[in-house]
Structure 1
Amino acid sequence: MMAMSDKKRVLILTADAGFGHRSAANAISAALLERHGEQCQGEIVNPLDDDRLPNILRRQQADYDRIVTELPEVYQLGYQLGEIRVTSSIAERALIVVLYETLRDHVRRCQPHAIVNTYPLYQAPLGAVFATTKNYIPLLTIVTDLATVHRLWFHSAIDHCLVPTDAVRDLALKAGISPEKIVITGIPVHPRLAQETRPPAALRAELGWRQELTTVLAVGSRRVKHLDEVLDLLNHSGLPIQLAVVAGGDERLYSQFQATEWHLPTHVYNFVQDLPTLMHAADLIICKAGGLIVTESLACGLPLLLIAVLPGQEVGNAEYVVRGGAGELAQKPVDALQILFHWLDRGGQLLAQRAENARRLGRPNAAYDVAELAWQAAERGPQTRAARSILGRSGLIKFLNRHAVPWQEKRGLGRREL
């Protein structure tokens, strides 16, 4: 057994704005442990939890749900402004000022052999940390949206830009990332999703569902509008289906579903820890176009009936699903009912086609692919080389000093504050 101090260390950076970034980090950590646990240890850290950060940055995680649901136009405007090169450059410099100390401290404490990043705000500050020391830790960034991607994801500090699709690869190239740095891996999903091999009927029996009925999994949350209206239509449709309804932790929605008089076999859940098991047991899913749920559904070969699309990256997710033939977008609740009728017509021929297309698009082994690249990077370890910051090392140091961001050596420490 290798001593803990001798293991390669991989620092996995994430955030809790939505579920996708944390889920990707957990998936990568689990895959690393499974494949290289004897020689490698992964640590997941959310830098935005640092109390030293400005409230506006720390609170963006807690406020994410409220902003995207109550102020979608504001969210969309901020997203679009970030796509402008000049605005993006200004944002990166601001992020260096705000996040430099936090990321410096995590790097100093963990002393990682490689860093895996699942959130777009950390790359510019990490690049500054690397440049001030001339010590470059291999940095792998995992883009967690399928098509519409914020420009901040693409930064010169990264060694590997791991993207989900050809469309995002093209965006990375357009943003100036070298082709040799870009790898299409898919978005990591938890390894247990790929490990589930039991047939749907067996899973349904274990869950207490009817085995012979076409099963519709409906997943809601505070961010999924009109799910209750869609389910009311299905409940009175007379279709030979059963429903598995997940409220996603929304207590109001859960109470509403519990109080509903269901005319179809229906199983209601509030929040589930193992949604992929329910996915494997279902025939299709009704949900919004979030990066995580779309990725997991495709990895399970599950057709998607999308009923909500938030402005920004989810627009691209929905387009990717529809263009790939793995699902459809219902603009209104009644559209969802019509789509489902079409899918089930003629013995479910269209539903079977959608499922085949979903399997084609899905990448259930993405976490293993990312973990292998992270392990290879950790084996290479940090390198000393000249700064490649746009500002240059001296310009970057002047920039940090001007904004009173500590970076320099302190006497008695024997090394830099990094």
Structure 2
Amino acid sequence: MLSGSPKVLIMYASYGEGHYQASKALEASFHRSGITDVELLDLMAEAHPLLNEMTKFVYMQSFKTMPMLYGWVYNATKDLQPDTSLLSVLNSLGMRKLEQAIASIEPDLIIHTFPQLAMPKLLKKTGLKLPLINIVTDFDLHGRWVHPGVDRYYVATEELMQDLVRRGIPAERVLVSGIPLKPDFGRSPSMATEQLCRLDPSRRTILIMAGAFGVMQGIRDICETLLAKDNYQVIAVCGRNKELHRKLDQELGQHPHFHLFGYISEIAQLMQLSHCIVTKPGGITLSESLVSRLPIFVYRPVPGQELNNALYLESKGIAHIANDPGTLIRQIDGLLLNEERLAHVYGEIDLVRRPEAAKTIVNDIIEQWLTPAPSLAGSTSLL
């Protein structure tokens, strides 16, 4: 049984923005539930800062310059077992730093929003007893997420649950919760939201997101083609790509129906103002779009988890995939100008969207491990 206020450690990685955003959403949900002692740890950044920066650089460059190679590596290693030599090496990175963090923080429970699973090996080495939680932040499952030492998996879809069971994880350890998001997604626009851009109410608003690091290619051509039509207006978000922001501002900044942003925290508000989204298919952005009831257009997805995310939502009738501007524009026209098709897509979105994912996850964790209960007291030993 717990004594005193429970402590939660959430481990993430800064490869892209999604894992951190999921961690912050969980932290906020824990706080709303009265659990305020929550620590976030970017293990690779803390343990191996130089290696972390190098691997982040390679990761981002592979998206831009070698997407086929990245996809090949991802798919070739997708079914790796946790006891393979490669995963054993990867999961050993940061062990010493993690052991120090555990001794300092003394958590009652550990959550992973990134598959850097050093904890099972550390628990075996030290004899500690701590519940381990995995939050799978994609609509696709890679072998790095799977380990028999993990006590609970929270996933986005029934298909992911079935995949985990196929890989030997007992069904009772898996909950289909959705991917955790901050609570401002899915709300109705407010007066403050509408002041972010001066939009023309007679036009459909298309939100184009290049990702946190602005790596989606071909944005200028897409914006230019859409703005040439008299029924669309465009909101473009460049993330941290200052060069992309400069070019778009220089070439399109004076257009009355073009609204340009760099890295901005009000993504939920921009989604509230939009009729659809053109995006790279990261798991978090796709979940934000679903909760915001936005039809999704995926442009030139990188092979690997992002293409697999897009293919899953395409199979549900929610996402469209395009690899050239002409196809993308035809897809947008074919949906936004057809009210019957649009209503059908909204219906499909409503079957998959899970706006309460963070609350569902936190409530389940509290019920399972962080609330003293006779049924758990004899079987759970916590620090």
User: TM-score, length-normalised on structure 1?
Assistant: 0.82
Q: Distance in 1 between matches of 2:240 and 2:347?
A: 31
Deviation string 1:77-116 (CA, Å, 9 cap, x unpaired) is 3213322436962123213443321221221111111111
| Structure 2 CA distance for partners of 1:88 and 1:324, relative to 1, 3 Å | farther
Select the residue among 251, 260, 263 that pairs with 2:251. Answer: 260
Partner of 2:42: 46
Select the residue among 3, 16, 19 that pairs with 1:18. Answer: 16
Q: Is the 8 A contact 2:301 2:310 kept in 1?
A: yes
Q: Distance in 2 between matches of 1:86 and 1:342?
A: 43
Q: Is the 8 A contact 2:135 2:155 kept in 1?
A: yes
Partner of 1:359: 350
Deviation string 1:174-229 (CA, Å, 9 cap, x unpaired) is 211111101001111112225x2347x98435643223421111112432011221
Q: Distance in 1 between matches of 2:69 and 2:50?
A: 19
Q: Distance in 2 between matches of 1:216 and 1:140?
A: 37
Deviation string 1:10-60 (CA, Å, 9 cap, x unpaired) is 1011000111111110100011111224xx421111111124x38445532
Q: CA RMSD in A?
A: 2.5
Select the residue among 218, 228, 232 that pairs with 2:208. Answer: 218
Partner of 1:126: 119
Q: Report deviation, 1:270.
A: 1.4
Residue 227 (str. 1) matches residue 219 (str. 2): yes
Q: Is the 8 A contact 1:135 1:383 kept in 2?
A: no
User: Higher mean Cα deviation, 325-334 or 256-265?
Assistant: 256-265
Q: Report deviation, 1:357.
A: 2.2
Partner of 1:415: none
What amino acid sits opposite 1:241 in the alignment? Y
Q: Distance in 1 between matches of 2:130 and 2:82?
A: 27
Q: Distance in 2 between matches of 1:325 and 1:239?
A: 27
What amino acid sits opposite 2:353 in the alignment? G
| 4+ residue segments displaced more than 6 Å | none
User: TM-score, length-normalised on structure 2?
Assistant: 0.89
Partner of 1:390: none
Partner of 1:378: 370
Percentage of matched positions with identical amino acids: 22
| Structure 2 CA distance for partners of 1:327 and 1:44, relative to 1, 3 Å | same
Select the residue among 59, 62, 65 that pairs with 1:64. Answer: 59
Q: Is the 8 A contact 1:205 1:211 kept in 2?
A: no
Select the residue among 228, 235, 239 that pairs with 1:248. Answer: 239
Question: Residues 186-225 of structure 1 correspond to what in structure 2 (within 5 A)?
Answer: 186-194=178-186, 196-198=187-189, 203-204=193-194, 207-221=197-211, 222-225=214-217
Q: Distance in 2 between matches of 1:248 and 1:21?
A: 16
Q: Distance in 2 between matches of 1:9 and 1:46?
A: 17
Partner of 1:398: none
Partner of 1:274: 266
Q: Is the 8 A contact 2:227 2:258 kept in 1?
A: no
Q: Is the 8 A contact 1:305 1:328 kept in 2?
A: yes
Q: Report deviation, 1:263.
A: 5.3
Q: Distance in 2 between matches of 1:104 and 1:235?
A: 54
Q: Distance in 2 between matches of 1:9 and 1:104?
A: 16
Partner of 1:395: none
Select the residue among 139, 144, 148 that pairs with 1:146. Answer: 139
| Structure 2 CA distance for partners of 1:128 and 1:206, relative to 1, 3 Å | closer
| Structure 2 CA distance for partners of 1:186 and 1:294, relative to 1, 3 Å | same
User: Higher mean Cα deviation, 149-158 or 85-94?
Assistant: 85-94
Q: Report deviation, 1:9.
A: 0.3
What amino acid sits opposite 1:224 in the alignment? M
Q: Is the 8 A contact 2:81 2:143 kept in 1?
A: no
Gaps of 5+ in 1: 386-417
Residue 244 of structure 1: SS of its match in structure 2?
A: strand
Partner of 1:396: none
| Structure 2 CA distance for partners of 1:95 and 1:327, relative to 1, 3 Å | closer
Partner of 1:304: 296
Q: Report deviation, 1:334.
A: 0.4
Partner of 2:85: 90
Residue 333 (str. 1) matches residue 325 (str. 2): yes
Partner of 2:75: 80
